Structure 1
Amino acid sequence: MEQNSRQSGHLQETGLENYCKISEGRRLQFGYTTGSCAAGAARAAAFMLLTGERADYVDLLTPKGIRLHLEVLDIRREREFVSCAIAKDAGDDPDVTDGVRVYARVSRRQEPEIVITGGTGIGIVTKPGLEQPPGAYAINSVPRQMTEQALEQLCREQGYEGGLTVELSVPEGAALAEHTFNPRLGIEGGISILGTTGIVEPMSEAALISSIRLEMNQQVELGRKSLVVTPGNYGQEFLRQSELLSLEEAVKCSNFIGETIDLAVELGVEHLLFVSHIGKFIKVAGGIFQTHSRNADARLEILTANGVLARVPEPLLRKVMEAVTTEEGVRLLEEGGYLEITMKRVMERIQYHLNRRSLGRTLVGAIVFSSEYGRRNHSHGELGRTENAELILEKIYGI
């Protein structure tokens, strides 16, 4: 089990060697969450505290059913407590917490209960709408359950009838948190201890959608029923420059346009305004709601089709169709004097598909812009608004 069954310092198997996914021809390795690190470190520290033996490795069964074999680091054994760490391994998932060490300091308590608290580098929740209430450490329920179950089992095995206090910490947590969603969500002073399965699946769509839901739910809990959504960095920059729109309240949805509308309906959002670059949202004019290029890329086809409806001359349509980027297509239409009428058609189609997806339960609109168009015209680059956009702006900002 936790004992010195393997020599420390050698390359060891974690239990994830055979777990991967194939994406765009690449083999992407699974990893494990900060929640698994916390539970593993707590179990190892408790084992050493209760037995007096050293543990260089710890085994942990995750909620996903995968058993991990994790190296125990930075062991400190004192009379009153034992402290140790597990290093996070995000696999091939791009994660700022990859490699961070999650520490658990375990001590005895007289009351027969497991108490889990936070310390240095663990964020504290300051706003409603998150899984943990305001004032609590950002240690989510599944990591708490994993830790409690691991320690309760260990106490039974060792015949220990007292309780244990577990203090989790991440020395680098405060600095790392600045590169996460935590400051936007109202989690201050550190990172969160997360994970619903204990396992990190690289570029998991489910995890991304879950984070969108979390952010939207928090806005709803704060009493906001009219939300601004932007797919990515271009939209964030547009909001930053715009005098009409607030960046603080905007939700980032990546490529999940359709899922974001579905979540808005589910959460009771009354008004939803997308602010997006033309290169992303032109796809919605064709009824495409998952806008990653690997799923669908008909940007120039859709722009050209709407140019046909706007009676753009055929020679210009051919140039638009042969353009390399949507921005180039916009420039060609602008130079030909057909941009405004083409974008009118595009925005009509966007509104049509937004209405179909929301089923009338949430009023959805969009503002579409072009970065290059803005630079050429010394403006924010707005290309068009759907018919619902004005009403939603009025509801959100009173303008």
Structure 2
Amino acid sequence: MKPEEMIGKVLREGHTTGATAAGAMKAAVLAMRGEFPKTVTVLSPQRQEIVIPVDHAEADGEKGCATCLKDAGDDLDCTNGTPIVVTVELKREPGMELRAGKGVGIVTRPGLQVAVGKPAINPGPQIMLRYVYEEFFTKDDGIIVTVSIPKGEELAKQTLNPSIGVKGGISVLGTTGIVKPMSEDAYKRSLAPQVPVVWASGFRTAVLCPGRIGENAAKIMGIPEGAIIETSNFIGFMMEQCIARGFDRMLLIGHMGKLVKVASGSFHTYNRNSDGRMETMAAYAAMNGASPAVVKEIMDCNTTDGAAIIIHREHLDMVYGQMAERAQVRSERYIFGKAKVGVIFAAMDGTIQAMSSHAKEILEENKWIIH
């Protein structure tokens, strides 16, 4: 289902990866006992019952294995329909041992909810898996629980895992076991963990990039990849996350099409929420002497790149620096002056179109050199 088809529709909830893994674990344990139900009921971290369909289960001696399919409901989740496979086997030592199978990532950088070197199975899913353990075993029983997501390594390329230090696959996530369709809050929560990871890596300047153009520009400029934080359209939210963590320096680097909106005071840059790009560019062109005909020509453009052709033709390229400076003022005002913010406009090829005064200062402070 496309996003526009969801507007005004009552959307179906789904299950998190963690809830699906817990369902597969329970089905695997039941298979070891000779039971093969079509559905199993697991508990969320809040102890709410969740019914999970079982796709397949089998057992061989002291080992059980089951597969449940991730059902994200009507949420636009790249893991929807993905098989989650859990193997349970007995061991002599007491307690439950969690292992990452194929497609489940390993944490390699500090700052996340899971320790370095451990499977990327978040605390919420770990609680759900433990509930299954406590339902069938005593504290003296020992089991090894291996969670696998066969398509996980490929799916991880569509997530932030590579940039936050989760290698080899995706994370097993979920705080309530339930996926809320099209949840903006959930998307924000998926972006927020980048901030403590960058802080834990020792960086004290956060480099915020709304998209790949900004990221490419940052790398061309010599900025370490470990300092880069993707914001998507939630620029204001991610700035607030950085302030809460303790950052007092930020660089905002991105394509003019995004950052012109920041110059006009918009910090949620999704086009249905804010789009004054042409109005802003036309106003700055007029301020620098553009004729009414040129202003109208800019207003008639569909993209900032199209407007840039007119601006260059009219020798009005000074507007980029002015807009970057205004975006800087707006950004620092948005966070009540709690950090110094520099703004850099990048072209499609990653080259720099404009740089605000604080951006230059922050680059010099960090000894980041523009190549």
Aligned to 2:243: 265
Aligned partner letter, 1:361: K
CA distance in 2, matches of 1:274, 1:100: 35
Alignment of 1:1-399 (within 5 A): 23-25=6-8, 28-49=11-32, 51-63=33-45, 67-109=49-91, 113-155=95-137, 162-239=141-218, 242-247=220-225, 249-340=227-318, 342-371=319-348, 380-399=350-369
Question: Would you say the 8 A contact 2:210–2:254 is kept in 1?
Answer: yes
CA distance in 1, matches of 2:288, 2:180: 45
Distance 1:256 1:28, change over 3 A: same
CA distance in 1, matches of 2:308, 2:48: 50
Distance 1:74 1:396, change over 3 A: farther
CA distance in 2, matches of 1:123, 1:368: 34
Q: Taking structure 2 as the reference length, what is the TM-score of the superposition?
A: 0.89
Percent identical among aligned pairs is 32
Question: Would you say the 8 A contact 1:235–1:275 is kept in 2?
Answer: yes
Question: Would you say the 8 A contact 2:103–2:151 is kept in 1?
Answer: yes
RMSD across aligned positions (CA)? 2.6
Structure 1 stretches of 5 or more lacking a match?
A: 1-19, 375-379
CA distance in 2, matches of 1:161, 1:64: 25
CA distance in 2, matches of 1:21, 1:112: 51
**Greater shift after overlay, 69-78 or 358-367?**
69-78
Aligned partner letter, 1:34: T
Aligned partner letter, 2:287: L
CA distance in 2, matches of 1:22, 1:200: 19
Question: Would you say the 8 A contact 1:21–1:29 is kept in 2?
Answer: no
Aligned partner letter, 1:390: K
Aligned length: 367
Aligned partner letter, 2:248: E
Question: Would you say the 8 A contact 1:21–1:28 is kept in 2?
Answer: no
Distance 1:110 1:246, change over 3 A: closer
Q: Taking structure 1 as the reference length, what is the TM-score of the superposition?
A: 0.83
Cα shift readout 1:228-257 (whole Å, capped 9, x = no counterpart): 1210133234345x2444445321110011
CA distance in 2, matches of 1:395, 1:33: 43
Question: Would you say the 8 A contact 2:213–2:346 is kept in 1?
Answer: no
